[in-house]
Amino acid sequence: MTEPGPRFHAFADAALATGVLCARLVKVLLEAVTRRGAASLAVSGGSTPRALYQQLAREKLDWEKVTIVLADERWVEPGEAGSNESFVRSTLLTGSAEKARFIPLKAPGDTPVEGLEAVEARLADLPFPLDAAILGMGSDGHTLSWFPHAEGLENALSEAGARAAAITARKSAVTGDHLHRMTLTLAALQGVSFCALLIRGEDKRASFEAAALPGPVEDAPVRALLTHETITLEAYWSP
C-alpha cells in the first residue's frame, strides 16, 4: 500500500520523464483492463504533455476498452484557440488510440454554468473511480482549472459534491483571456489509482515546493492534492 502524500520524481530531461511516466501509465491501464475489462484516464491540456500523449498513443493497449476524459477545459469550441479537446484529439487520440472512448467537457451554453448539467450527465456514464489522472500545474499553484480564489473554486474542491464544476478565474498572466472553465472536481478524483503531476522548468519546481508548505488552499489549490489523506500525487519534473 502506498503511503499518502506527495512524491517528487526529478529527471535529467523531459524525454526521461515522459518515458518513465508513459511506462507507468501503460502498466496502470493494462492492469485495469485485465482486472475489470475497462480503464479510465483523465488528461490535461497545455504544451507539457504533448510528447507523453504522442508516445502513449503508440502503445499497444486495448484502446476500445479505455475511456479518456478531460480534466478541465476552457469554455471555447473545439478548433478554437485554447481548446484542450482539440489538443488531445491531435496528440493522444490518434492511431490505435483513436479507438478510445472520449468524453469532452465543452457543452452547449454561453457559460460553463449553463453547460454544467450536460457535462454532469456525460460524467455519470464514466466508470469511477478513475484509474489514472495526468495533471499539470501553473506557476500560480493551480491544477486542473482550480485557480486561486476563482469563482466556483469551493465547489471544485468539495469532496462530497458533483464531479464537475464551473469556474470563473481571476484574470492573470496564467489564465490569459480564458477565464471561463469547466473542471473535474476533487470528488471526481476520489479513489484514483494513479495521480501524476507532469511539470517542467525551475519556476514550476519552485511553485511546487512553495505549495508543499503549509498555507491556505485557496492561495495554491494544488495543495488540496498535496495534503490529501488518500490521494497520492506523484510529481514528474524535468528542467
pLDDT of residue 122: 96
Contact call for residues 71 and 43 (beta carbons, < 8 A):
yes
pLDDT of residue 184: 98
Question: What pTM value is reported for the model?
Answer: 0.95
Q: Is the peptide bond before 239 cis (omega within 30 degrees of 0)?
A: no
pLDDT of residue 161: 82
Distance CA 172, CA 142 (A): 12
pLDDT of residue 23: 98
pLDDT of residue 92: 98
pLDDT tens across 39-64, in order? 999 999 999 999 999 999 999 999 99
pLDDT of residue 1: 31
Position 186: which residue type?
L
Q: Which three cell numbers stand for residue 51?
A: 510528447
pLDDT of residue 5: 56
Residues of the chain with pLDDT under 70: 1-6
Q: How far apart are the first and last CA of the chain?
A: 30
Distance CA 58, CA 62 (A): 12
DSSP readout, 176-188?
Answer: TT--EEEEE-HHH
φ, ψ dihedrals at 108, nearest 5°:
-60, 145
